[in-house]
Amino acid sequence: MFTYPPDPQQVYVKRVVGLPGDHVVIRDGALRIESPIADGSVTSEDWQAAQQTADDAASLIPPDAYYVLGDNRSASRDSRYWGFVPGANIVGRADNILYAENPARIGPIGEFVP
C-alpha cells in the first residue's frame, strides 16, 4: 500500500515487482527482472508471464524506489504510466483479501519469502 505519487491524497494497493537496483523489462507481454548481485553486476532471472501487459517498457529502479504493477494489467495505471513509487510513499502491506469475485480468494494473503 502506498500513497499515489501523482495524488498523495489517494492510497493505492499494487503488486511490487521491482526493488531498488533492479532492471525491469516488459516486452511482448512478458515481465523480466534483472537483479544486481554483490559485485555490482546484474543477473537475469527467467521470463515471467505478465497478464496482457499494455506496453513494452524498460526501467532501472533508482535507490529507495519501487516498481509496481496492477494485477489486472490491461486496465491498470501503474509504474508503466506514472513511474516509480518512492520508498517514503509506502504506508503498509495488504495482508487480507476482503472481497473477490471468486470467494475462494477471500482470506489471508500467503506469506512472502524473499
| Confidence at 39, pLDDT banded by 50, 70, 90 | low
Give me the pLDDT at residue 90, please. 94
Q: Which of 62, 58, 60 is nearest to 88 (CA)?
A: 62
| Tens-digit pLDDT profile for residues 41-53 | 444 443 343 333 4
Q: What pairing do the DSSP bridges indicate for beta strands 85-86 and 57-60?
A: unpaired
Average pLDDT over residues 18-35: 83
pTM attached to this predicted model: 0.72
Integer-rounded Cα Rg, in Å, for the chain is 15
Give me the pLDDT at residue 111, please. 59
Q: Which of 96, 77, 86 is nearest to 8 (CA)?
A: 86
Q: Which of 94, 93, 54, 101 is nearest to 76 (CA)?
A: 54
CATH 2.60.200.30 applies to domain 2-108 = no
